[in-house]
């Protein structure tokens, strides 16, 4: 089941995997280009993922993926203040919402 939303079946496994691979690719390219997660998100066409609820979550996901691209262990602590601040900035300064 995904981290947010309704419980679902195995039919979404490929969709979730593809999104995570998409985020990892953006992070890898962003680190290589020397840009931060917020700028990487701003430069990325979300394509089919632009319709997901809370599109600003891509920025938080990028903060996590950047840490891992740079060698952090999965689940290692990240700077949550920076991640959340960047998410609000990406969201045009609007507060974050949660539909979980």
95 within some domain = no
Secondary structure string (H, E, C) spanning the chain: CCCCCCCCCHHHHHHHHHHHHHHHHHHHHHHHHCCCHHHHHHCCCCHHHCCCCCCCHHHHHHHHHHHHHCCCCCCCCCCHHHHHHHHHHHCCCCCCCCCC
Domain residue limits at 76: 10-90
98 within some domain = no
Higher pLDDT, 11 or 5: 11
Cα 66 from Cα 36, distance rounded (Å):
9
1 within some domain = no
99 within some domain = no
100 within some domain = no
Name the pTM for this structure: 0.89
Least confident segment among 14-18, 39-43, 79-83 = 14-18
Assess whether pLDDT exceeds 70 at residue 4: no
pLDDT digits (tens, 9 = 90+) for 19-68: 999 999 999 999 999 999 999 999 999 999 998 888 899 999 999 999 99
**How many structural domains are present in the chain?**
1
**What are the residues whose beta carbons fall under 8 Å from the beta carbon of 73, sequence distance 6 or more?**
none
96 within some domain = no
């Amino acid at each position: 089941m995904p981290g947010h939303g309704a419980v679902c079946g195995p039919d979404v496994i490929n969709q979730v995997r593809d999104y995570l691979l998409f985020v990892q690719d953006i992070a890898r390219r962003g680190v290589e280009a020397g840009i931060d997660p917020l700028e990487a998100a701003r430069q990325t066409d979300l394509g089919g993922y632009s319709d997901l609820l809370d599109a600003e979550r891509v920025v938080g996901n990028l903060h996590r993926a950047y840490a891992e691209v740079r060698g952090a262990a999965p689940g290692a602590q990240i700077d949550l203040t920076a991640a959340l601040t960047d998410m609000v900035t990406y969201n045009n300064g609007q507060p974050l919402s949660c539909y979980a």
